Amino acid sequence: MANYQNFLHYLKQHQIYFVDFRFTDLHGVWHHITYPVSMINEELLNGGIFFDGSSIQYWCAINQSDMLLIPDISPNLDNIAIDPFADVATVIVTCDVFDPLNLLPYKKDPRYIAKQAEKYLQQTGIADTAYFGPEVEFFIFDSVHFQSNAEHCFYNVKSDEFTNNNGAMTDNNHGCRPKAKGGYFPVTPLDSMHNIRSKMLIDMQAMGLEVEKHHHEVAPAQHEIGIKYRSLLHSADAIQTYKYVVRNAARSYGKTASFMAKPLFADNGSGMHVHQSLWLNGNSLFAGMEYANLSEIALYYIGGILKHAKSLNAFTNPTTNSYKRLVPGFEAPVICAYSMRNRSAACRIPVENSPSAKRVEIRFPDPTANPYLAFAAMLMAGIDGIQNKIHPGESHNEDLFEDKEIAKTLPSVAGSLREALVALEQDNSYLLVGEVFSKELLTSYLEMKWKEVTAIEQFPHPLEFSYYYNN
């Protein structure tokens, strides 16, 4: 029984009207149920909130539908936040999902899996903390239209930043737009979304995130807001808050935001590069005397991730659209190599100014990933690499996009979601160790993703009409 007196006092002190209880499904989507503050007491908080788990895709059957949300509220209340987008004062509380019959955590709850991964790391004795620092990119469009049915399929996105708008014959065409591949770091007015990102940053700070920077990205309408690294679980929690703020802030400006990996043809896609390091007793385990001043443990960690890259892709790149980004030439690293400073490798070793900042950056994930599952899977792959001393081989400092001969000799990430799912079916034992992932979860996850693959493979594509209509 947790002590929620501080929380109840907080609700009165800040004149809160509603409490929004939230949890995450297998897709990584946030769900919520809202209670008026008059209903909030210790009995409710300790006993939990019942909900219909069968209405959440790929969770439980209708005859086992009752599930329980247990609020995760820390004693110092550092993991709750006032919702900046609610018209009436509302506090957001993240919850864990439990089975009400045995009061055990639900094994398909992504947040539980993240907690299990952290617990298993500590049980191994290798480290006590895994830090994750994701770099999340996204697009902000003026509008989006899309529809798919048996006889009609299209999408259309619009942004004033698209260069084809330079040719619009209007009296007020300002012509201030980034050139092709010229979106990285220009000032206003070329960076037309500066004020929106600043508002997003302020909202993220208000919700408890430590935000380091924001800037325009390479493609038109593409952006990034940098948040500080946290422990695995709290970093995944932060991603949920990050996405919530970006989407709602964009909408408040009359825009729409998307975390799709590749919404624009022949331009840069959105990645989620993930910086990772292991620590023990307050000391980094990744600093050493090996290549790029890495430790042997860090090299083995890299080796585990590169070995399991294709099965990891099922979690780190979980959409068919993800693999339209994972092609050479658009800063998307598809080659399973590691290198210092080299952005063409799947694993980059960033230059740092102190041993405590030593880390590895895994560059193939994208922001459509469920952060709890993706981070937990990468940690488990890294642990497997350490335990089995999987060395990643030689480093590669060449531009692997240009040096085709060397690139041919190296393994690559999965080329499609189908390939990633097949890899996960064949290579998943490292995820099951320590009861972090369960076979039940993997079965449901694979079923969910195979359904997407099958539907998209069977649906006629508009480009097929261009190629084949008159054949």
Among the listed residues 109, 361, 366, 384, the single catalytic one is 361
Residue 31 appears among annotated catalytic residues: no
Give the span between the Cα atoms of 236 and 190, in whole angstroms.
32
Among the listed residues 216, 223, 230, 273, the single catalytic one is 273
Give 53's DSSP letter: G
Please calculate the CA angle 244-159-193 and round it to the nearest 5 degrees: 55
Among the listed residues 128, 135, 425, 452, the single catalytic one is 135
Among the listed residues 52, 394, 403, 464, the single catalytic one is 52
Among the listed residues 137, 161, 191, 384, the single catalytic one is 137
Residue 171 appears among annotated catalytic residues: no
Cα–Cα distances in angstroms (integers) from residue 121 to residues 96, 125, 288, 389, in the given order: 20, 7, 20, 16
Where is 227: in which H helix or E strand? Answer: strand 222-227
Residue 363 appears among annotated catalytic residues: yes
SS3 of residue 389 by DSSP: coil
Among the listed residues 118, 191, 203, 224, the single catalytic one is 224
Among the listed residues 343, 398, 418, 452, the single catalytic one is 343
Please calculate the CA angle 98-101-106 and round it to the nearest 5 degrees: 25
Where is 114: in which H helix or E strand? Answer: helix 110-124
Residue 394 appears among annotated catalytic residues: no
Contact 321, 259 (CB under 8 A): no
SS3 of residue 234 by DSSP: helix
Residue 52 appears among annotated catalytic residues: yes
Give the span between the Cα atoms of 310 and 316, in whole angstroms.
10
Cα-to-chain-centroid distance, residue 387: 26
Among the listed residues 83, 203, 217, 384, the single catalytic one is 217
Could you list the active site residues? 52, 135, 137, 217, 224, 273, 343, 361, 363
